[in-house]
Amino acid sequence: MRAAPRRSIEKSNAQFQKALKRLPLGVASTFRYWGDDRTIYVDHGKGGRIWDIDGNGYVDYRLGYGPAILGYADDRVDAAARRGMEVGGVFALSTERELAVADRIAKMVPGVDLVRYSNSGTEAVMAALRLARAHTGRDSYLLIEGAYHGLFDAAMWMANVEEWSRRGGGDPEVVAYSKGIPQELKTLAHLVPMNDLQRLEDTFKRHGNDMAAMLIEPIQGNCCGISASGDYVRLARKLCDQYGVLLIIDEVKTGFRVARGGVQSLHGVTPDICTFAKAMANGYPIAVVAGREEVMRTFRYGGAAHGGTYTAHSVSLAAAEECLRILDETPALETLAKYGENLKAGMSRILNRRGIVHSYAGHDSMFGLFFAEKAPDNYRDWKTSDYSFYDQMAYHLHDLGVICEPDSREPWFMCEAHDAACLEDTLVAFETAVDMTLEHFEAEKRA
């Protein structure tokens, strides 16, 4: 078996040991912890690459879970952000730019009448669900298995597939995926598998008259890019109309990335409420709750409460104005999607030469890679599949200078700044990582 690449992360490991004394797991977010001797600390990023404090460079396909859609430290957006600094920061009052950015969003996204700002995807979805409950007067809601809608109690429910067998005939138990979630909230959350039209219809028949909202990511941003079929999304819209349920399309990851009008425009389905965040300001913290006028005007005194000291911060708002202008008026989205198409083609050539069966899910701008003939179209099929090859390959890719999520849940994200050199470096590393992974499993068989 060939020797592992000699990537030193000595300084990152030393920083981790120091950070442990003040930060849980040595990081500011649990998902940045990759192990006691594998957690890296970033020095800087530019374009489609980042460098750690040891000086190692990486082609980055995490992009902060998607926000850096134009690439890190984009000169155009950063210049706009500096102009935003001159405005003065936080006033807990409004500025003219709020309307300018809202007008841009309404121009880009069919069906958006009104806009409210938040600071993160979690905040936006939390506000969207509160809005739906206030507007309908109902409390319960529908989630799709495998979806991720942020770290707030109402959204943190999952199907416990690991302790479930199809042979039992029933559904997986619904469990919280964190400690500290009040169990009584579980009675309000209904879960259904993605792309099972009959189950969706049956669930509406049983609970539709009591539900405030259905939340859906038509491309699942925390489950490998697994995608809803057009028929499934259209049925969801039809059933929501039939039962007076508000359809919330969560575009925190897909919004302004897979299309100017978001994934909803690709399906030709208009939600009652939608949320955006990751890609709208190239990494500056801002999010949006948007939707049709009748629903959105429920944000009022005596209606659904919404606010936040830092909402529509002058820096983030200025960055969003410029980022959205670029995405709307230039070929940036076509450029990064074409890069994703070329990356998948290059990966397939390498895998095909070795006879490795594989498939992709999602969109060219954010896709999941599977080592199976057909990509799963629901969480249960992914969770019960064998993704050990991917996880081992990702481990090697990090040592070879390519950053993807250490496990297969997170899609690969493209940015406008990914260029021919990034593609070449990635495919060289990918080929080596695939061979090392093959050797790893051959060695395991012999042992």
The 10s digit of each residue's pLDDT in 271-327 is 999 999 999 999 999 999 999 999 999 999 999 999 999 999 999 999 999 999 999
Residue type, 195: N
Cα-flanking dihedrals φ and ψ of residue 144, to 5°?
Answer: -100, 135
Q: What is the mean pLDDT of the chain?
A: 96
Sign of the dihedral through C-alpha 57, 59, 64, 69: positive
Ranges of H-type helices in 164-229: 197-207
Q: Which pLDDT score is estimated for 5?
A: 63
pLDDT tier, 384 (very low <50, low <70, confident <90, very high otherwise): confident
Q: Which pLDDT score is estimated for 343?
A: 98
Query: What integer is the mean pLDDT of 91-101?
Result: 96
Read off the pLDDT of residues 124-163 as tens digits, 9 standing for 90 and up.
Answer: 999 999 999 999 999 999 999 999 999 999 999 999 988 8
Tokens 């042979």 identify what position?
A: 167
Which helix (H) or strand (E) segment holds residue 413: the answer is: strand 412-413
Residue 48: partners with Cβ closer than 8 Å, 6 or more residues away: 59, 60, 71, 72, 415, 417, 418, 419, 422
Read off the pLDDT of residues 208-248 as tens digits, 9 standing for 90 and up.
Answer: 999 999 999 999 999 999 999 999 999 999 999 999 999 99
Q: At what angle do helices 97-108 and 314-329 cross, to 10 degrees?
A: 30
Contact 411, 368 (CB under 8 A): yes
Q: At what angle do helices 388-399 and 420-446 cross, to 10 degrees?
A: 120
Instruction: Judge whether residue 78 has pLDDT over 90.
Output: yes
Residue 202: partners with Cβ closer than 8 Å, 6 or more residues away: none
> Which is more confidently placed, 407 or 227?
227
Q: Which pLDDT score is estimated for 1?
A: 46
Q: Which pLDDT score is estimated for 166?
A: 76
Tokens 């990751």 identify what position?
A: 278
Residue type, 37: D
Read off the pLDDT of residues 161-215 as tens digits, 9 standing for 90 and up.
Answer: 888 877 677 889 999 999 999 999 999 999 999 999 999 999 999 999 999 999 9
pLDDT tier, 4 (very low <50, low <70, confident <90, very high otherwise): low
pTM above 0.85, yes or no: yes
DSSP secondary structure code for residue 327 in this structure: H
Tokens representing residue 42 in the block: 């970033």
